[in-house]
Structure 1
Amino acid sequence: MAQYDPEKDKTVKEIGSVILGTDSNGKPNSELFFKIRQYGDQEPKLAITNKFTGRNDTVYESSKIPRLTFEQLQFLRKDLETMLDKAESILDSSKRSKGKKKSKGKDKKNG
């Protein structure tokens, strides 16, 4: 089994979060987190995780998205579009910077 390599296996960027629910004190008790993750040389992927508060204020993080009501989906529509736009701009800028690094290296070798 391959070992974890921090240079290859990483969360590229945490984009943001959206609060799904609050407790009686107004504290968030359920949030969705949006992250861009990339493992090795694979294509970067958008990861959506759920962080929620359980009994005795214990905080849990799940890789599965909870079941959402239609009202929650309507509420999240704008936030999801915003998160996807942020993710696309982050990935586009990282591709441009990688392209610049590669072209500089090729010029030095050929020149």
Structure 2
Amino acid sequence: MTYTVEKAKGSKEITVLDSKLDINERWVFEPYLLDIQPNEEGDIVLPFLEYLIDNYPSVKIDRDSIIDTKRGCFTGMSTLVISFTDEDEAQSYANALNNSTKRK
């Protein structure tokens, strides 16, 4: 896995992603790569979001809908979209993810 920093044209938002992971829920791997532990209720999402907010002040967390392209309608599922407004923070996050994939 290799995470890179990508900035969309005409946007201030910067994303960190592994382009080989072409799935809607690509963020799901990140808390585990970063060794974030679930809370007492077994939830991994809130501890992951707290990690992002505590460590990357420019992080932007959005919720997005998953669309069934064959039927052209909302599936009822949603996903998280994580982006940054500071390129150095985005690169730091990419580095943290990349370093975690090198563990033995």
Which has more helix, going by share of residues?
A: 1
Q: Of Structure 1 and Structure 2, which has the larger fraction of its residues in strand?
A: 1
When normalised by structure 2's length, the TM-score is 0.27
Larger radius of gyration: 1
When normalised by structure 1's length, the TM-score is: 0.26
